[in-house]
């Protein structure tokens, strides 16, 4: 049994400050019975709950803090096709799953766009996402990507930018080229998560906040316990990701938390916006240790990166991230920083989401390795399929076992930190 968990409110992020709704779902008290109980109300849990509610299941969603409290509500807000590990799936299973992999790559984009429209979710959804090359040797990747999309008759707009076009579109000399896809884009992630949770509730799902799960009792109908009550269900889905401490016998040393950090400027004047991002697109470099940025709806620059794998947060997020932003945009040296925040993302060593089942009726999905907004929505659908007995896509991931690091969580993070130091050096070179 897990004890001593301190319930928390949202971090002091730009997203929390501009949320459409301050969620206040009840604490779980007493006994409840549903078809499916989901633990964790981030994107994976909420997407699974909404998919199941759409299919007529009774659902309880149990969250230790608030809806979207973890990485789902504090990330870079970039909608990027695909998920980490798809190449490994194709290498493992061969060309027979090529069509499935292609579908998985874009399914998250489709789900997000469809739900924003269907449920009228106000989350500042914008199309347009650019990958950019800080090094000349990285530019060839963009031409390869364009050739692949052309071969597969990709139906959405995309462009390859040379250095001059990249400089004109992004107002910086930091990049040697770029690739932009207009099916990808960006949004306010916390408002998306809150909006999807509200849609699930409107379809009959029950959400409980400030209700840390203390134990899971296995059986024909597992029981999910909190300090003040329990939920009994035919199936349980664990969606806690980097913050989960449940089922250590099965899940420890699969996913390691890494720190991710963002700063937000004051609203920028129109002249500056037109200089650095006139298309209002999301941007991410193609280094192994990435930097990423975008404009908010009120034209702040939200800049993140320098993912920290050591397990220790920086003393000052602003001091940690601001030099990286000024390296790309020295013209912003006098701009005020209004927000700085961070949190944990779940890293899997082989970069394939850790998916599986404990016994016959407790499912888990976690570890998106920093590539989670679209991937979580795909996984929500895959988990709902699995609960309903359709296991084809679930088994693809469950059959590719993640790498465990024996020993303590601390030791695991130090090994990851050493590995990422190697990639940082490669990026610098």
* Beta strand ranges found along 198-313 (DSSP E): 206-208, 213-217, 223-226, 229-238, 256-265, 282-285, 291-295, 301-308
Q: Are residues 283 and 330 in the same domain?
A: yes
Q: Are residues 144 and 279 in the same domain?
A: yes
Q: Are residues 135 and 240 in the same domain?
A: no
Q: Are residues 274 and 386 in the same domain?
A: no
Which pLDDT value is given to residue 113? Answer: 98
Which pLDDT value is given to residue 423? Answer: 44
3-state class (DSSP) for residue 393: helix
Q: Are residues 156 and 261 in the same domain?
A: yes
Q: Are residues 150 and 29 in the same domain?
A: no
Q: What is the C-alpha separation between 230 and 219, in angstroms, rounded?
A: 14
Matching residue, tokens 């399929």: 385
Q: What are phi and psi of 20, to 5 degrees?
A: -65, -30
Total domains present in the chain: 2
CB crowding 218-239: b at 16 or more within 10 Å, else e = eeeebbbbbeebbbbbbbbbbb
Q: What is the C-alpha separation between 190 and 178, in angstroms, rounded?
A: 28
Q: Are residues 16 and 137 in the same domain?
A: no
Q: What is the C-alpha separation between 131 and 184, in angstroms, rounded?
A: 11
Domain that holds residue 384: 1-123+189-254+348-398
Matching residue, tokens 């404009």: 295
Q: Are residues 71 and 194 in the same domain?
A: yes
| Nearest alpha carbon to residue 170 among 284, 69, 35 | 284
End-to-end alpha carbon distance in the chain = 48
Helix or strand holding residue 44 (H, E): helix 43-54
- CB of 366 closer than 8 Å to CB of 239: yes
Residue 76, number of CB atoms within 10 A of its CB: 24
| Nearest alpha carbon to residue 280 among 125, 108, 123 | 125
- CB of 146 closer than 8 Å to CB of 160: yes
Which pLDDT value is given to residue 400? Answer: 86
Would you write out the chain's pLDDT as a tens digit for each of its 429 residues?
Answer: 666 567 899 999 999 999 999 999 999 999 999 999 999 999 999 999 999 999 999 999 999 999 999 999 999 999 999 888 888 898 899 999 999 999 999 999 999 999 999 999 999 999 999 999 999 999 999 999 999 999 999 999 999 999 999 999 999 999 999 999 999 999 999 999 999 999 999 999 999 999 999 999 999 999 999 999 999 999 999 998 867 778 777 777 777 778 899 999 999 999 999 999 999 999 999 998 889 999 999 999 999 987 776 667 888 999 999 999 999 999 999 999 999 999 888 878 777 888 999 999 999 999 888 788 999 999 999 999 999 999 999 999 999 877 766 554 544 455 555 444 444 444 445
Contact residues for 28 (Cβ-Cβ < 8 A; gap 6+)? 62, 208, 211, 226, 228, 229, 230, 231
Q: Are residues 276 and 241 in the same domain?
A: no
Q: Are residues 418 and 386 in the same domain?
A: no
Can you give the CATH number for the domain in which 236 is found? 3.50.50.60
Which pLDDT value is given to residue 224? Answer: 98
Can you give the CATH number for the domain in which 140 is found? 3.30.9.10
Q: Are residues 335 and 373 in the same domain?
A: no
Q: Are residues 87 and 220 in the same domain?
A: yes
């Amino acid at each position: 049994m897990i004890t001593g968990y301190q319930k928390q409110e949202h971090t002091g992020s730009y997203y929390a400050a501009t949320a459409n709704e301050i969620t206040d779902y009840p604490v779980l008290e007493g006994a409840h019975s549903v078809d499916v109980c989901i633990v964790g109300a981030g994107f994976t849990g909420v997407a699974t709950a909404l998919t199941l509610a759409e299919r007529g299941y009774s659902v309880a969603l149990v969250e230790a803090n608030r809806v979207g409290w973890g990485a789902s509500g504090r990330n870079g807000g970039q909608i990027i096709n695909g998920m980490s590990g798809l190449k490994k799936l194709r290498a493992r299973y061969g060309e027979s799953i090529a069509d499935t992999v292609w579908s998985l790559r874009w399914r998250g984009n489709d789900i997000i766009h469809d739900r924003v429209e269907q449920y009228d979710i106000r989350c500042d959804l914008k199309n347009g996402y650019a990958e950019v090359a800080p090094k000349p040797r990285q530019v060839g990747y963009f031409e390869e990507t364009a050739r692949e999309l052309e071969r597969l008759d990709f139906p959405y707009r995309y462009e390859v930018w040379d250095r001059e076009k990249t400089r004109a579109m992004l107002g910086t000399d930091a990049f040697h080229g770029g690739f932009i896809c207009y099916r990808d884009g960006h949004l306010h992630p916390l408002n998306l998560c809150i909006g999807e949770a509200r849609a699930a509730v409107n379809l009959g799902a029950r959400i409980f906040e400030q209700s840390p799960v203390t134990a899971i009792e296995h059986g024909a109908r597992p029981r999910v316990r909190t300090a003040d009550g329990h939920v009994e269900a035919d199936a349980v889905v664990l969606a806690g990701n980097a913050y989960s401490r449940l089922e250590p016998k099965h899940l420890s040393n699969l996913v390691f938390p890494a720190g991710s950090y963002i700063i937000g400027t004051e609203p920028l004047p129109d002249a500056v916006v037109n200089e650095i991002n006139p298309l209002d697109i999301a941007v991410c470099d193609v280094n192994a240790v990435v930097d990423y940025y975008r404009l908010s709806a009120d034209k702040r620059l939200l800049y993140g990166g320098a993912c920290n794998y050591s397990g220790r947060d920086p003393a000052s997020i602003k001091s940690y991230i601001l030099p990286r932003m000024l390296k790309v945009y020295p013209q912003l040296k006098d701009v005020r920083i209004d927000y700085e925040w961070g949190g944990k993302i779940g890293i899997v060593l082989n970069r394939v989401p850790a998916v599986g089942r404990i016994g016959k009726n407790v499912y888990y999905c976690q570890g998106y390795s920093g590539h989670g907004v679209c991937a979580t929505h795909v996984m929500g659908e895959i988990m709902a399929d699995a609960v309903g007995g359709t296991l084809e896509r679930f088994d693809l991931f469950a059959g590719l076992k993640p790498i465990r690091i024996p020993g303590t969580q601390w030791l695991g993070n130090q090994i990851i930190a050493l590995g990422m130091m190697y990639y940082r050096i490669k990026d610098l070179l």
